[in-house]
Amino acid sequence: MARSVLLTGAGGRVGQAILRDLGEAHDWRLLDREPLPRGKLPDGIDNSDVYVSDVTNKQAVKEAVRGCEVIIHLAGDPRPNAPWESVLRNNIDGTQTVLEAAVEVGVEKVAFASSNHAVGFYEDERKPDLYRDHDEFRLDGTELPRPTNLYGVSKATGETLARYYHDEHDLSVVCVRIGNLTESHPPRNYERGQAMWLSYTDCAHLFDCCVKADYGYEIVYGISDNDRKYYDIEPTRRVLGYEPRDNSAEYHLDGTPKDEFDE
C-alpha cells in the first residue's frame, strides 16, 4: 500500500537509490538543501511536494512533515571526515529538528539513516580477519557506540535522540546503520567495503520495509547478504521483513561479476 512519505536528503546517494526503485511505490515528499534537478526527481512528482530547505529550519521542516505518515530521514553531512561544527548542526541539531517535528505533527514512524561509522572501532582488534567469510564475529545493534570519527558520533547521537523520542513520545523509529552503498557492483579491492556492501536494490527494498513494517524502537544493520559480513542482519530480517538479494561474494575482489555463482 502506498504511504505518504517524506524523504529528507532526497538528492543524496541513499535517497537516489530509494527513489530509483520506489519512485512510484509511495506518495513522496522530498526535502533537500539544494534544488533537485529533474533527473533526481521521480516521474510525475508535483512541484509542491519538493521542499528546498536546511534540515535545521524548524518551520520549513514542520511544513514538510505535516500530513506525512512516515519520514525517511537521511539529510545531514555525509562525509566521514566532516568537521565537528557541520555534524553538530546538520546531523545532530538537524535530526532533533526532524524528530521534534514528527512528534508535534503526529507522524507515525521514522526511519533514521545511521551509519557503520557509529561502531567502527569494534573492528580494530579483529581486522582484517573480521572482513572474511570464516570469521564468526557479529555486531548486532545491542553494542554501545564506538565511533571512528565525529560523523559517527553524530549518528550515534541521532540514535540516542530517537530512543528518547520513542520512549517519551511513543514515536516509532528504526535506526538503520547503513553499510557501504554502491551501485551495480561492490566496492573494488576493498574487503571492508565488500563486507558491508549495500546494493542499490537492497537499499530501496530495505527502506520500503521501514515504511511498511511495524516496530517500536530498533537499531538494525543495513547491508546486503554478503558472505563476508560482520554485521548481523537477522534482526533486520526479523524486525522489518528484510529479504536481501545481493551478496558481494557474487563479484570478484576487483568488482567484476563472477560468471557463475552458486551458493
∠ Cα 15 174 76 (to 5°): 40
Q: How many CA atoms lie within 13 A of 138 on its CB side?
A: 17
Q: Cβ closer to its own copies: 122 or 190?
A: 122
Give the SS3 label for residue 73. strand
Convert residues 165-204 into a mask of x (bound to its own copies by CB under 8 A) and - (unbound): --xx------------------------------------
The secondary structure of 99-119 as a DSSP string is: HHHHHHHT-SEEEEEEEGGGS
Convert residues 127-146 into a mask of x (bound to its own copies by CB under 8 A) and - (unbound): ---------------x-xxx
User: How many residues in the shown chain lie near its own copies by CB under 8 A?
Assistant: 26
Is residue 211 involved in binding its own copies (CB under 8 A)? Answer: no
In angstroms, how far is the first alpha carbon of the chain from the final one? 33
Give the SS3 label for residue 71. strand
Convert residues 146-165 into a mask of x (bound to its own copies by CB under 8 A) and - (unbound): xxxxx-xx--xx--xx-xx-
Q: Cβ closer to its own copies: 34 or 143?
A: 143
∠ Cα 193 197 203 (to 5°): 145
Provide the annotated active-site residues. 151
Contact residues toward its own copies (CB under 8 A) are 84, 88, 92-93, 96, 100, 121, 124, 142, 144-150, 152-153, 156-157, 160-161, 163-164, 167-168
